[in-house]
Structure 1
Amino acid sequence: MSFTVFLAVLAAALLHAGWNALIRVGTNRIGTMMVLSAVQGIIGLAVAATGPLPAGPVWPWILASGAIHSAYKTFLTFAYERGDLSRVYPLARGTAPMITLAVGALWLGEAVRATETAGILLLGAGILILACGAWAGGESRRMLPYAFGSAIATAGYTLVDGLGARVAGNAAQYVGWLFLVDGVIFAAAMLAFRGRASLPGGGRVWVMGGLAAVASYASYAVAVWAMTLAPIALVAALRETSILFAVLIGWLGFRERMTPAKALSIGLIASGVVLTRL
């Protein structure tokens, strides 16, 4: 992985933590996520319109990705209704690198060096330590199935989009189409689950959702581009440094308590990042 790609993925991680914080801080999280999906779909349509329709072999990847992204956002939204940023986010993101690494190595033939593998495992260990407070802190455990569902979906769309973008040969066009499909599927799913209550209302929801959409779109576009140039598992692991940024946002922005476990997890995450660069 080149240094330029490395820095781009870290910037994408910061944007990812930022848009999750915007979703979590709002009171109407489903409405905010609906706005996010709608704006992403509009951006995707604008990008997709600049090029020809994808070739036939690309469409299965786009449709699968749109469905998995919608599942991810559905699980994440329901988890944030039941848990805090510093707990839901680590659980939602924490197990994805290990799933991606295993699938990439066993079935996709991805070449990941020993130091990179060690870095990925350190990242995972730090994330899981940070997440253990969900059991020790007396928080609602009803968010756990949704957080783990989000983690599985994260691993799923990471693998699908890494391969799909390679088949498409144009990461920007691929991302545009997938977010357009995702926006339609997610809106239909939320209307089915919550009906009219899922519709956004109030200027604050639109502002927060719009800002989150821009950050989310930019974050994932960079990540998919990076996955066309570097091993999928390595890009996925570096993206999980967004955990570090989320903890800092929670500590400095939301005044969440910095516990020894959180400090230890940050150290492990930082060490994992260093190892992926050796």
Structure 2
Amino acid sequence: MAPSVVALVLFAALLHASWNALLRGGEDRFWSMGVMNIAPGAIGLAVCLWVGLPSRESLPLVVLSGLLHILYNALLVLTYRSGDLGQTYPIARGSSPALVSVGAALLAGELLPLSAAIGVALVSGGIIALALARGGVGRAGLLAALATGTTIAGYTLVDGLGVRVSGDWLAYTAAMFCFHLVLPAWLVARRGARALAGKPKQLGMALAGGTISIAAYSVVIWAMQKGAMGAVSALRETSVVFAVLLGRIFLGETLTVNRIVASCVIAVGAVLIGHG
């Protein structure tokens, strides 16, 4: 994988961990997620009106991806109600790269070089070790995190396939982001129009998180045109290292020796993927 692609995906990982930290730090996570989705949905709609829709062949995949993202958002809220960022985020993210690699091999015929395959295994294993280093992950949190990881793998595979037949990665990404308007609409339906209002600081943080999420995942979709889906997915999930640091700095979570070692394993895996 080209160094420039590796660097951009790692930057996307930092952005992804940042908006998840904003979500986890919110008091009302359903409200935060609803408001966060306004920015991706509105920008996606605006870009669609500007560049048009992607190819007809990719439209079913756009719809499927949009539905999977809605499910992912709902499960993510449930996950963060069940455990803290440093416990549940690594399980959710760490369970997806291996699933993506298997799915990409079956659906797209993508076979990773040995070094990259070892890298994916190290990233996945290191992420799970990072989640379990603290112990105390309850059954509800574990199930919610694993379900979230499954949806992550699902929409990653769908988007990896969809962007390759779309003819235009920007049009594909924008069309998929339009589905993010469903969650704020659901929030209004349940709580009324005033539900979108909030304290200026909370509103600003939620909208900032949504804007960050656009940049983070747009880079990933672009990268899946350039590299194998499993490798891109594994690199993106190095975001757990950033999440551990953000959890320590901003949320007061514990940083132990075991978690540092697990983070180093993830870093080694990322290097192998980059050279694979």
Q: TM-score interval w.r.t. the shorter chain?
A: over 0.9
The residue number in structure 2 matching 1:196 is: 191
Q: Percent sequence identity over matched residues?
A: 38
Aligned counterpart, 2:105: 105
Are residues 1:77 and 2:72 paired?
no
CA distance in 2, matches of 1:115, 1:143: 33
Measured after TM superposition, the shift of residue 49 of structure 1 is: 1.4
1:170 aligns with 2:168: yes
State how far apart, in whole Å, the 2-side matches of 1:218 and 1:17 are: 12
Match of 2:157 among 153, 159, 181: 159
Contact kept, 8 Å, 2:133 with 2:259, in 1: the verdict is: no
Aligned length: 273
Q: Structure 1 residues 190 and 108 mapped into 2: Cα distance closer, same or farther (>3 Å)?
A: farther
Which amino acid is 1:179 matched to?
Answer: F
1:1-278 to structure 2, matched below 5 A, reads: 1-133=1-133, 136-137=135-136, 139-184=137-182, 186-187=183-184, 195-196=190-191, 199-202=195-198, 203-278=200-275
Displacement of 1:85: 0.5
Specify the SS of the correspondent of 2:82.
coil
Distance 1:237 1:60 in 2: 26
1:167-192 deviation digits (Å, cap 9, x = unpaired)? 112111111110102322x3455578
SS at match of 2:245: helix
Q: Distance in 1 between matches of 2:168 and 2:224?
A: 12
Shift of 1:252: 2.2
Amino acid at match of 1:252: I
Once the two structures are superposed, residues 79-138 of structure 1 have per-residue CA deviations (whole angstroms, 9 ceiling, x without a partner) of 11221000111011011001011111233201310000000100011111111257x33x
The normalised TM-score by structure 1 is 0.93
CA distance in 2, matches of 1:262, 1:147: 18
Does the 8 Å contact 1:79/1:147 carry over to 2? Answer: yes
Gaps of 5+ in 1: none
- Mapped partners of 2:105, 2:58: distance in 1: 23
With structure 2 as the length reference, what TM-score do the two structures score? 0.93
Unaligned runs of 5+ in 2: none
Q: Deviations over 1:22-71 (max 9, x none)?
A: 00111011111101112110010111111123332221011000000111
Q: Please say if residues 67 and 182 of structure 1, whose CA atoms lie closer than 8 Å, have aligned partners that are also in contact.
A: no
Which stretch of the first structure deviates more once superposed, 201-210 or 219-228?
A: 201-210
Provide the aligned C-alpha RMSD in A: 1.8
Is the alpha carbon distance of 1:230 and 1:102 closer, same or farther for their aligned partners in structure 2, counting shifts above 3 Å? Answer: same
